[in-house]
Amino acid sequence: MLLSQKPNKRKESLDFLLTFLFSLLAAVLALRLITAYLFMPVQVVGNSMKQTLHHGDVLIVSRLNKPDRGEVVVIEKEDGELLIKRVVGVAGDRIWTQNGVLYRERQQGAIRVVEEVAEPYLSAYNSANTWQDTHNKTDVAPVTVPKDCVYVLGDNRRDSLDSRLYGCFSAISVLGVVPQFFIDHPKLLTFLK
């Protein structure tokens, strides 16, 4: 009787191993699909989004949403570097700054509207009287955002390399939108570091 049980134990062990490996492969594949098409974790590097986000914060980026004005996005530059910035202009918008204040001309129905962009996320550090980036540039000449592109700025304008330097980014380079929940709770996912 003992001899007949040995092959069964081997078969059971092999079945268990194959089931485990198949489950592991399925989990890895599912995770890859989720991060490729739905959501992906991203860690904030640098201070360009200070006071909104801080170096080391971990965010979940939604790949499902099309970026809109005011949203924080993750952009992949041509060299593979990731940037986390705020969209201040979409296709057709005209963007400029004057005396450190951001203005946007956009289409609203049948008319063009010029508006001073309310930016409550900017700290006093970035106030209109002191807004100056690392390149000593205080004002941005008017730029019209091309079709299928976005114009982005860091919330910490004094320490941000963004569309003022790189120009507009194509929608294809936008990897996703950071849901407001993660902006409101940036420390939530720091255990993923």
Same domain, 19 and 90: no
Our count of domains for the chain comes to 2
Residue-number span of the structural domain to which 165 is assigned: 40-192
Could you tell me if 105 and 187 lie in one domain? yes
Domain shared by 21 and 88, yes or no:
no
Do 17 and 55 sit in the same domain of this protein? no
CATH number at residue 155: 2.10.109.10
Instruction: Report H helices in 98-169.
Output: 163-166
**Mean of the per-residue pLDDT values of the chain:** 83
Residue 115: pLDDT band (50, 70, 90) is very high
Q: Tens of pLDDT along 73-111?
A: 999 999 999 999 999 999 999 999 888 789 999 988 899
* 80 closest CA partner among 114, 30, 109, 45: 45
Asked if residue 54 and residue 6 are part of one domain, the reply reads no
pTM, to two decimals: 0.77
- pLDDT, tens digit (0-9, with 9 covering 90-100), for 2-27: 555 556 778 788 888 888 888 888 88
Active-site residue 147, yes or no?
no
Tell whether 165 and 75 lie within a shared domain.
yes
Q: The tokens 């540039």 sit on which residue?
A: 137
Domain check: are 81 and 146 in the same one? yes
Indicate which residue of 4, 11, 77, 85 is catalytic.
85
* 15/28 same-domain check: yes
Does residue 81 sit in the same domain as residue 18?
no
Distance CA 42, CA 59 (A): 5
Taking 50 as the threshold, does the pLDDT of residue 129 lie above it?
no
Q: How far is C-alpha 174 from the geometric centre of its chain's CA atoms?
A: 7
Do 117 and 166 reside in the same domain of the chain? yes
48 catalytic residue (yes or no): yes
In this structure, are 59 and 31 located in the same domain? no
**pLDDT for 139-166, tens place per residue?**
788 999 999 999 999 998 888 899 999 9
Check 48, 62, 160, 163 and give the catalytic one: 48
